[in-house]
Chain A
């Protein structure tokens, strides 16, 4: 019991207490006592609803994209023998340690308004503007998030694939199944727990992603974390910022709870 105290104390001091402060602040409009007024105000605002919608669809779309792309790439790395497959798998690990804005920065260099792709285009055609102008739209954010978060799906998938008994794949082959059927009926069902784990992680990370949205400089793309930033830093509306933050936390925790329930049902 005594040994449990230090970690609990640290957790309380550095994590639970600030969180409690945020929650407390969200019920305190400027200069007033406890009230749900900040909530009614925020919920009523068009900006909040827009941000909530943008956050959810971006997160869902990014997760779907990461799952599809990650499954495909992991499949190739794990089952299609090519020289350097091991090195690629290693690189996936390294990729996970990169900061998210780095990817966005790299995309800016390539596809940004004055990036390489547009530079090459304007140089070749003499046009004033390149054709690649999607980076500061929601599609740019989506591209950046899929690029950055796909390895988070691949990591658990590669681990799951390495556990898969190759004799099962051979048995399926000798029974007359071709590659697409083997992927669909043998590999995919056994990869479901890994997909659920990677997918839910990516979903939560995307809901809370800040750096990518900020770095793409997409003006029209305001997500909940961006809204918190805007309200707290730019508008000095702390109660409003805290309300959005609380909503963001609740969505994350709720999704995590849902994932636990689903994964336990799936027997993973």
Chain B
């Protein structure tokens, strides 16, 4: 079932927390709402669930306007960061809750509870209480509880944020598997973690300061971000202030050859380059600078090199003889790997 935001605006006491959001999640699609805290992503999700009333705009589920419907009539599955399991109920009672609330027949309840627990790998824990389970297990139960009512739409609000890193990657794989098993369920996945968004989502909607900044497939956003915020929030990037010249841009006194087809000569712009696409040593588009900081990250070295007035980050495969701080090094970047963006905050 599709989810559609039609100019949805939410304000608390005159503070705009969601500014005229237009977004459509296709049936069966996983859409990640990615952004820092306070970006409005959770508010958008709560507007779909019915816990937040838009000041203006409409919310549609499968073409039906649900803006005025109470939560209990929307038929949505919801999973939140802190699990929100009912502590006095056993696992199977938790999962049965939604079915009982809908007046499902008892034999059917038992079958669907078993099915949901099987799907999340919690069948062996049916008679335990939530407090006897680990965080990861509790989140599986919460997912089973949301899936038991067979929703067409599943809302996930930072579902993995309370788990430790190792568990998180395991649960990420589980969620991807669940989506393959339930291909018709649309998922809206709120997260501040770009790895989760890149791994799981068919498309990512990047949010910042109550507004939608960009929306596209992970590859689109990563390879060709639309603006500085998207570039730095999705994947991390060097954002270098440049002036457009002919056939390239001028950065820190050097000419960098890039595609300037869509830029006006003489205009200010931002050159976006992913750190792992910056090479060390001689090559095309050479830049010379002084190593300000070097970090060993196992498989890679991260270099912060001061070129002119600006830091350029470079991730290179682990070096046998890494340069020292203060040493002069040469960096290079392929013309195809750099993207020219409209000038933004990087110009100060």
Report A's interface with B, CB cutoff 8 A.
Answer: 165, 167-168, 170-178, 181, 185-186, 189-190
Contacts and interface: CB of A to CB of B under 8 A. Distances in A.
Given A165-B82, A165-B84, A167-B82, A174 B76 contact: yes
B97 A177 contact: yes
Contact of A168 (B73, B74, B76, B86): B86
A171 B72 contact: no
A82 B50 CA distance: 20
A167 B101 contact: no
A189 B97 CA distance: 14
A165 B85 CA distance: 10
A186 B101 contact: no
B98 A170 contact: no
B78 A170 contact: yes
A186 B85 CA distance: 10
Contacts of B146: 175
B339 interface: no
A252 B17 CA distance: 55
B49 interface: yes
Nearest to A169: B84
A170 B71 contact: yes
A178 B98 CA distance: 11
Contacts of A174: 49-50, 71-72, 74, 76-78, 155
B149 A176 contact: yes
Chain B, interface residues (CB within 8 Å), range: 20 to 34
A176 B86 CA distance: 15
17 contacts: A165-B82, A165-B84, A167-B80, A168-B86, A170-B71, A170-B80, A171-B78, A172-B97, A172-B101, A174-B49, A174-B71, A174-B76, A176-B102, A177-B97, A177-B98, A177-B101, A178-B72
Contact of B88 (A165, A167, A171, A190): A190
A35 B142 CA distance: 67
Nearest to B88: A189
A167 B146 CA distance: 13
B84 A170 contact: yes
A133 B75 CA distance: 54
B87 A190 contact: yes
Contacts of A171: 78, 80, 84, 142, 145
A175 B78 CA distance: 8
A183 to B, nearest CB: 13
B102 to A, nearest CB: 5
A168 B138 CA distance: 13
A190 B130 CA distance: 14
Interface in B73-127: 73-78, 80, 82, 84-88, 97-98, 101-102
